Amino acid sequence: MTAPITRVPPIRPLSPPSFHGAGLTHAGFVRERNEDSILTDPSGALWAVADGMGGYGHGDVASDIVIDRLSQVAEDGSAGQSLRARLGEANRAILTKVREPGMNQMGSTVVAALIQNSVATIAWAGDCRAYLMRGGALRLLTRDHTVVQEMVEQGLLRDGDRERHPESHVVTRAIGFEPDVQIDTVVVPLVPGDRLMLCSDGLTACLSEQDIAGHMRLAASPQDLCTALVVASLDGGAPDNVSVVSVYAAGG
């Protein structure tokens, strides 16, 4: 009797995903000018949203400085160290700019993503956010550096009441406020089908996470997602500048 032969097919590893994205920013309906700045990268590696602090004047200058320094990030070095170094440079540059004649205190919140070998390193300061959608489920990757976030964590405020609180937009950390700035980071491996979204607080002030999730599930492309989210914010009144950057992982 001849023994049965089992043929085991070779395992073919999935090819790494490719990344493509888009960005969109709008002044909204209340602010006189747009003090947000965004960074998009045709190579798929580097993305960012910076929200200038309009209440301190010259917020657009501060956010431009942040984006300019981030655009110089080395894509082949340590992602976390590179992002922190460039944001530290931006912090010093803003503090130097403040001392020029005609300038006054200014700052910027920021969230940035550097993708290397299918791994995203997210760096942020303030209340700009990063979200990941995988398999239809939305996950918030960042933690707001705000007074109300601390109140929620201490049990002094319900999460659903944060936007109605009078100090809802008071940040505890931003670029250009102090001589030394602390930057938080999180590392997230990405797989084909993942959708990454960065935004300023002008978006999350208008849309709930349920609303954001619905748009992220339906949008066929990064540009479609950016447009849908900004339009939805405008439909909600857009009392602040609104900025969105989205990145899709394709292939596999």
Question: What is the tens place of the pLDDT at every residue in 39-98?
Answer: 999 999 999 999 999 655 689 999 999 999 999 998 778 999 999 999 999 999 999 998
In a domain, 193, yes or no: yes
The helix/strand count (H/E) of the chain reads as 6, 10
Q: What angle do CA 131, 91, 63 make, to 5 degrees?
A: 55
Across 8-17, 126-135, 146-155, 237-246, least confident range: 8-17
State the virtual CA torsion across 207, 214, 126, 192 in degrees, nearest 10.
-170
Per-residue confidence band for 3, with pLDDT thresholds at 50, 70 and 90: low
In a domain, 95, yes or no: yes
User: For position 121, which CATH number holds?
Assistant: 3.60.40.10
Which is nearest to 207 in space by CA: 228, 224, 187, 221?
228
Name, in order, each residue with C-beta under 8 angstroms of 93's C-beta and a sequence gap of 6 or more: 65, 69
Across 53-62, 103-112, 132-141, least confident range: 53-62
Which is nearest to 245 in space by CA: 85, 19, 18?
19
The Cβ of residue 115 has, within 10 Å, a number of other Cβ atoms equal to 25
Mean pLDDT computed over 102-126: 94
- The string of pLDDT tens digits covering residues 14-56 is 678 999 999 999 999 988 889 999 999 999 999 999 999 965 5
Per-residue confidence band for 169, with pLDDT thresholds at 50, 70 and 90: confident
Per-residue confidence band for 156, with pLDDT thresholds at 50, 70 and 90: confident
In a domain, 10, yes or no: no
In a domain, 1, yes or no: no
For residue 135, the enclosing domain spans 19-250
Distance CA 126, CA 57 (A): 17
In a domain, 11, yes or no: no
- The helix-helix angle for 79-98 and 59-70 (nearest 10°) equals 150
In a domain, 28, yes or no: yes
In a domain, 54, yes or no: yes
**Predicted local distance difference test score (pLDDT) of residue 154:** 79
Mean pLDDT computed over 224-235: 97
Q: How many structural domains does the chain have?
A: 1
In a domain, 7, yes or no: no
Per-residue confidence band for 135, with pLDDT thresholds at 50, 70 and 90: very high
Positive or negative torsion for Cα 214, 219, 225, 227: negative
